[in-house]
């Protein structure tokens, strides 16, 4: 099983330089992948491309670009460029996004998100695989009067979706290479998410999808203090319906209840629980909330688990 980390250096004097340094440290610890979030700040495909060039051998990915406010032609160009820059080590993550950020940030109605995801994936798959598209949907049009291919990215780009609800899982199983669930505990994965995803892929005669579980977690001896920080750090997600639902399915009251916090033995056991629940890859996030010492301790353990 691949083990990776989500890197967040948004508070550094120079986010790009700091992210490269973190990625080098992660790779030295034995971690296999580094993932980058996407909000309204740094462009995550560019960040992934830079890190992938600077840290050879490390898989890099975006987790995840919302489909609202973007177009498949533009996202395909970003993803293919990152794939060429990293010589095949880039993984593109997409997300529905949220009503709050979509309508407040872009001034767009958060309407028919599943239909938009389906059309976005259909057009994007054509573009990343062939460099051409002739797609005319209800919500999106994507055609290529001139080729959209990027030499050096001829094998395409793995596409994953931050899907956790039944409809998004069905679309992802049919059209994507896997999913990027966040705040979904082992119970939600094993009982709800993985079975629905697998069934959709099988019905579409597609290979078994990847399940890249993003897990907030830290190795520490000061469990109570770090969990309190995690409660504050993760509280934002509790107001978003998709996360509230998956937390309930995980038998969690607060988002921090699914955070993996404890000593090495405790955290290793929880990583194994995610594997047993169907995760093909585990990516730890939020390690920065507990300070550099605990972050390095966390990465050292994850590197051992990755080997």
Nearest residue to 209 (alpha-carbon basis) of 171, 166, 176:
176
Q: Does residue 192 sit in the same domain as residue 302?
A: yes
Q: Is residue 154 part of a domain?
A: yes
Residues 155-172: pLDDT tens digits? 899 999 999 999 999 999
The pLDDT score that the predictor gives to residue 2 is 85
Q: Does residue 193 sit in the same domain as residue 138?
A: no
Q: Does residue 88 sit in the same domain as residue 190?
A: no
Mean pLDDT by 10 residues, the chain (307 residues): 90 97 97 95 97 96 96 98 98 94 92 98 97 97 95 94 98 98 98 98 97 98 97 95 96 97 98 98 94 96 94
The pLDDT score that the predictor gives to residue 1 is 56
Q: Is residue 172 part of a domain?
A: no
pTM of the model: 0.96
Q: Does residue 84 sit in the same domain as residue 201?
A: no
Q: Does residue 11 sit in the same domain as residue 63?
A: yes
Q: Is residue 23 part of a domain?
A: yes
Separation of alpha carbons 67 and 18, rounded Å: 28
Q: Does residue 146 sit in the same domain as residue 204?
A: no
Q: Does residue 289 sit in the same domain as residue 143?
A: no
Q: Of 103, 126, 161, which residue sits at a domain end?
A: 161
Residues 11-63: pLDDT tens digits? 999 999 999 999 999 999 999 999 999 999 999 999 999 999 999 989 999 99
Q: Does residue 187 sit in the same domain as residue 223?
A: yes
Q: Does residue 9 sit in the same domain as residue 153?
A: yes
Q: Which residues contact 226 (CB under 8 A, 6 or more apart)?
A: 218, 220, 261, 289, 290, 294
Q: Of 161, 193, 216, which residue sits at a domain end?
A: 161
Full residue range of the structural domain in which residue 238 is found: 183-307
Tally of domains in the chain: 2
Q: What is the CATH number of the domain that holds 204?
A: 3.20.20.30
Q: Which residues contact 105 (CB under 8 A, 6 or more apart)?
A: 40, 69
46: left (phi over 0), alpha (psi -120 to 50) or beta: alpha
Separation of alpha carbons 102 and 67, rounded Å: 10
Q: Is residue 302 part of a domain?
A: yes
Q: Is residue 175 part of a domain?
A: no
Q: Does residue 114 sit in the same domain as residue 232?
A: no
């Amino acid at each position: 099983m691949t083990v990776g980390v989500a890197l967040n250096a948004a508070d550094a004097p120079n986010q790009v330089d700091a992210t490269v340094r973190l990625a080098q440290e992660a790779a030295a610890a034995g971690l296999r992948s580094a993932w980058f979030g996407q909000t309204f700040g740094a462009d995550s495909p560019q960040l992934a491309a830079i890190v992938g060039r600077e840290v050879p051998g490390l898989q890099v990915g975006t987790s995840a670009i919302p489909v609202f406010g973007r177009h498949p032609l533009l996202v395909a160009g970003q993803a293919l460029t990152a794939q060429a820059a990293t010589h095949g080590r880039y993984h593109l993550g997409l997300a529905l996004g949220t009503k709050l950020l979509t309508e407040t940030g872009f001034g767009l109605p958060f309407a028919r998100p599943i239909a938009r995801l389906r059309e976005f994936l259909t057009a994007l798959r054509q573009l990343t695989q062939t460099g051409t598209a002739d797609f005319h949907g209800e919500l999106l049009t994507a055609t290529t009067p001139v080729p959209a291919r990027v030499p050096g990215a001829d094998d395409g780009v793995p596409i994953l979706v931050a899907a956790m609800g039944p409809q998004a899982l069905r679309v992802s199983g049919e059209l994507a290479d896997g999913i990027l669930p966040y705040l979904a505990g082992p119970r939600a994965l094993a009982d709800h998410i993985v079975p629905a995803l697998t069934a959709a892929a099988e019905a579409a005669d597609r290979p078994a999808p990847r399940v890249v579980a993003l897990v907030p977690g830290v190795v520490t001896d000061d469990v109570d203090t770090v969990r309190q920080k995690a409660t504050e750090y993760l509280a934002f997600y509790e107001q978003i319906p998709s996360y509230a639902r998956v937390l309930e399915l995980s038998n969690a009251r607060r988002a921090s209840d699914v955070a993996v916090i404890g000593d090495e033995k405790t955290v290793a056991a929880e990583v194994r629980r995610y594997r047993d629940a169907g995760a093909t890859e585990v990516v730890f996030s939020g390690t920065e909330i507990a300070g550099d010492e605990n972050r390095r301790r966390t990465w050292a353990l994850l590197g051992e688990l990755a080997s």
